[in-house]
A = this chain, B = another copy of it.
Amino acid sequence: MDEVHIRTRRDHASEIAEDYVEAIAEFVAVKGSCRSVDLAECFAVTPATVNNTVARLVRNGLVITAPYQPIGLTSKGRKLALKCKERHEVVNAFLIAIGVDAGTAAADSEGIEHHISKTTLAAMKKILADGWPAISIAIEKQNE
């Protein structure tokens, strides 16, 4: 059991980092640059919190910025952002595929994405690409 919870804790430590790089990449892509005020609005936190968090991400080598300047990603940050974006989109699409409404899917995928392993992500992608796996319950029920 331990290893499981150790991973969960590790996942959590990187959740905010992942959310930030994903958002920064998005703002840069959509409006050309990313500012503190954008992230504050996006995450519903104060500018002070953004400043604090961005400083940590700079220390971690994910983000580059300078005082009163826009916020950008390092190549490491861009790489992470890309991975997260893809994973996020897969989870979102998958939730919709299993019948969850778009609004709920968007909300849930935001929380879920950070806890999806490579294996589970692959399983979701496979289903999105190839359809459902071998039929079990439904047909068995029908055949009873």
Contacts and interface: CB of A to CB of B under 8 A. Distances in A.
Q: Is the interface of A mostly helix, strand, loop or mixed?
A: helix
Contact of A131 (B110, B120, B127, B134): B134
A116 B127 contact: no
Interface in A95-112: 95, 97-101, 104-108, 110-112
Interface residues on A, range: 35 or more
A52 interface: no
A41 B119 CA distance: 27
A8 interface: yes
A6 interface: yes
Interface in A35-58: 41-44
B111 A8 contact: yes
A2 B127 contact: no
A143 B142 CA distance: 9
Interface of A: 1-8, 11-12, 15, 19, 41-44, 95, 97-101, 104-108, 110-112, 114-117, 119-120, 123-124, 126-139, 141-143
Given A2-B44, A107-B117, A108-B120, 12 more contacts: A1-B42, A6-B44, A7-B107, A7-B110, A7-B111, A95-B120, A98-B120, A98-B124, A111-B114, A131-B134, A135-B135, A142-B143
